[in-house]
């Protein structure tokens, strides 16, 4: 049976739909009487059981695992499959050794570490790493080649640390719990083992892989960040509050009043192209997406296409990244502290295919605000806004592992994703009161009902001859004869903003300032 249809990216093609019917018939024939079977779609990955009807629906929506060409989990015998004219056993993805995977990670982080240090920079030629980066590379390489203990061939020092840290994050293990088990493992192993003694030591080994974060001090009252031109100040120039807490005079280190964690965006976007696992997928929206008027990905939407028409220079290179930004507050302590709120700010790369772009592995947290920023979230957004502006204007030189060449990576934020209260904080548009609708603006229809401000007039968007326009008792007691509100273009809104007189950046700045930065 020919199973090349599994590789077909067009899941609406007759070949693909016929292949799904053949698979369903095969599963029924080899599992007589079964009501549920393993679902081989990309999301379920043969680990979840679904009804046969749902399996067919999943395969159309998510696609079948491309390496699942031998249906052994659904009754096919391996001997028969290997002798068929279809895809052979060689196409099954091989099991990769853990040490080899760690070496691949190092090569992704330092793709041109062996480049001649004296080589002159040229177009499409990787820039040699400096001495500090090369030192980090040598340390990682040493740990990757060093046995965990004499005679151990299964794990190197770096492989063991990566595996343990992966488990810590996956199962949400605390640092104290991790330190305890790491100490137990170290005592179990031979006395001359090289396993780190605690989480801090393990973290130092992994620092060479990059993708760290910066600690930026903030004013206690959220007035400003001690950042760039204010980095050397000890007091806030707006409220005169001290940057540091009052401590004993014998203490050598100062404790800041408030700290924001910032995770730079550029190295994380660069890593997507430096890794063999994602470099090709970052061009999926241009090279592999099927254009058949079916909405499967943001690239199929009109907003994406309009952006391409507006900025053709940006759209010419499919490696330029389209981003979405999302934020919201939550209480990590449950009901123990009703007043605490932590605000992470995430960025999503929409270049990736739909089965990857919304996975947590590719969600990039860029800012972590450990207290409710209130109306001053623009203060904490400043480092991210500065970096996004630079990525849009200048870009950053990036190595593309799939082509082996350098290119200038640019990025643009196309969407923000948040609920209505967070929308007010990020955009600066007030979502409270009688004039809160961001679509209707001054032509809003609102009123007080049941102790709340309610926004009415939705029938204005209906066709002129729609029957609901004539109904009055079912709605507010009036027939609807008005036209839909005027839709303002981006240029008109920007012109309105340019006529406003903004204060200096900081706590006293107009609440609409961040949106102009991100646009």
Which string of DSSP letters, residue by residue, matches 151-193?
A: T--S-BHHHHHHHHHHHHHHTT--HHHHHHHHHHHHHHS-TT-
Task: Say yes or no to pLDDT of 120 above 50.
Answer: no
Q: At 84, is the pLDDT very low, low, confident or very high (cuts 50, 70, 90)?
A: very low
* Alpha-carbon gap, residue 147 to 156, rounded angstroms: 4
Residue 388 has a pLDDT of 96
Residue 262: what are its φ and ψ, rounded to 5°?
-120, 125
Do residues 198 and 182 lie in contact, with contact meaning Cβ atoms separated by under 8 Å?
yes
**Mean predicted confidence (pLDDT) in 217-223:** 92
Q: What is the pLDDT of residue 117?
A: 38
Higher pLDDT pick, 515 / 58 = 58
What's the rounded mean pLDDT across residues 429-452? 85
- What is the Cα–Cα distance from 398 to 267, expressed in whole angstroms? 9
Q: What are phi and psi of 271, to 5 degrees?
A: -65, -30
* % the chain with pLDDT above 90: 36
Q: How distant, in Å, are the alpha carbons of 1, 401, 449 from that of 469?
A: 58, 58, 21
Encoded tokens for 498: 């340019």
pLDDT at 343 over 70: yes
Do residues 391 and 411 make contact, with C-beta atoms less than 8 angstroms apart? yes
Per-residue pLDDT for 34 more than 70?
A: yes
pLDDT interval class at 86 (50, 70, 90): very low
For 347-380, b where at least 16 C-beta lie within 10 A, e where not — what string?
A: bbbbbbbbbbbeeeebebebbbbbbbbeebbbbb
Note the pLDDT of residue 115: 47
Task: Average the pLDDT over 4-25 and give the result.
Answer: 86
Average pLDDT over residues 174-202: 93
Q: Looking at residue 96, what DSSP letter applies?
A: P
Residue 209, Cβ neighbours under 10 Å: how many?
17
DSSP code at position 225:
B
Cut 0.75: pTM above it: no
Q: Which residue, 59, 12, 55, is CA-closest to 34?
A: 55
**Is the model's pLDDT at 119 over the cut of 50?**
no
Average pLDDT over residues 477-495: 85
pLDDT of 223 over the 70 cut: yes
Average pLDDT, the chain: 83
Q: At what angle do helices 157-170 and 98-109 cross, to 10 degrees?
A: 90
* pLDDT attached to residue 381: 93
pLDDT of residue 507: 54
Q: Where are the alpha helices (DSSP H) in 194-319?
A: 199-206, 266-274, 284-287, 302-310, 312-316
Least confident interval from 128-142, 204-218, 303-317, 321-335: 128-142
Position 91 confidence tier, pLDDT thresholds 50, 70, 90: very low
Helix (H) or strand (E) holding 408: strand 405-409
Q: Is the pLDDT of residue 513 over 60?
A: no
Q: Residues 251-268: what's their mean pLDDT?
A: 90
pLDDT of residue 509: 41
Given this model, what pLDDT does residue 124 score? 57
As given in the structure block, the two tokens for residue 252 are: 């050598």
Across 28-37, 134-143, 273-282, 509-518, least confident range? 509-518
Least confident of 207-221, 389-403, 505-519: 505-519
Give the phi and the psi of residue 342 in degrees, each rounded to 5.
-105, 135
pLDDT score recorded for residue 394: 95
* Of the listed ranges 65-79, 409-423, 483-497, the one predicted with least confidence: 65-79
How far is the first Cα of the chain from the last one, in angstroms, to the nearest whole number?
A: 53
Among 154-163, 245-254, 475-484, the range scoring the smallest mean pLDDT is 245-254
């Amino acid at each position: 049976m020919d199973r090349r249809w599994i590789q077909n990216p067009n899941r609406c093609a007759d070949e693909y739909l016929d292949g799904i019917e053949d698979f369903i018939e095969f599963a029924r024939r080899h599992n007589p009487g079964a009501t549920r079977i393993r679902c081989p779609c990309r999301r379920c990955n043969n680990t979840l059981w679904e009804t046969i009807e749902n399996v067919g629906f999943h395969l159309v929506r998510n696609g079948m695992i491309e390496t699942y060409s031998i249906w052994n989990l659904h009754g096919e015998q391996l001997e028969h499959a290997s002798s068929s004219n279809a895809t052979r056993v060689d196409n099954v993805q091989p099991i990769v050794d853990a040490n080899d995977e760690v070496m691949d990670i190092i090569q992704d982080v330092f793709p041109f570490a062996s480049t001649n240090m004296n080589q002159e920079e040229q177009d499409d030629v990787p820039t040699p790493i400096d001495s500090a980066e090369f030192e980090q590379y040598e340390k990682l390489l040493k740990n990757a080649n060093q046995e965990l203990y004499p005679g151990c061939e299964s794990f190197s020092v770096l492989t063991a640390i990566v595996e343990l840290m992966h488990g810590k994050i996956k199962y949400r293990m605390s640092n104290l719990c991790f330190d305890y088990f790491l100490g137990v493992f170290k005592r179990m192993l031979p006395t001359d083992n090289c396993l780190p003694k605690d989480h801090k030591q393990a973290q130092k080994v992994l620092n060479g892989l990059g993708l760290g974060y910066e600690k930026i001090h903030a004013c206690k009252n959220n007035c400003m960040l001690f950042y760039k031109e204010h980095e050397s100040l000890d007091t806030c120039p707006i409220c005169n509050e001290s940057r540091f807490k009052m401590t004993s005079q014998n203490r050598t280190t100062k404790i800041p009043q408030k700290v924001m964690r910032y995770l730079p965006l550029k190295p994380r976007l660069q890593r997507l192209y430096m890794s063999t696992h994602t470099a090709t997928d970052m061009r999926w929206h241009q090279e592999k997406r099927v254009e058949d008027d079916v909405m499967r990905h943001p690239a199929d939407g009109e907003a994406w296409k309009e952006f391409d028409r507006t900025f053709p220079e940006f759209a010419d290179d499919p490696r330029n990244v389209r981003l979405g930004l999302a934020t919201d507050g939550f209480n990590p302590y449950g009901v123990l502290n009703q007043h605490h709120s932590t605000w992470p700010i995430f960025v999503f790369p929409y270049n990736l295919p739909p089965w990857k772009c919304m996975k947590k592995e590719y969600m990039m947290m860029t800012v972590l605000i450990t207290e409710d920023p209130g109306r001053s979230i623009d203060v904490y957004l400043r480092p991210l806004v500065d970096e996004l502006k630079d990525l849009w204007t200048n870009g950053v030189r990036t190595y593309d592992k799939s082509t082996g060449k350098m290119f200038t990576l640019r990025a643009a934020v196309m969407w923000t994703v948040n609920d209505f209260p967070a929308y007010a904080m990020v955009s600066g548009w007030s979502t409270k009161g009688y004039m809160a609708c961001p679509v209707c603006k001054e032509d809003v229809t609102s009123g007080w009902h049941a102790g709340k401000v309610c926004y009415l007039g939705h029938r204005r968007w209906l066709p002129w001859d729609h029957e609901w326009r004539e109904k009055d008792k079912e709605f507010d007691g009036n027939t609807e004869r008005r036209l839909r509100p005027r839709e303002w273009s981006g240029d008109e809104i920007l012109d309105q903003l340019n006529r406003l007189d903004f204060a200096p950046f900081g706590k006293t700045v107009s609440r609409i300032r961040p949106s102009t930065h991100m646009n």
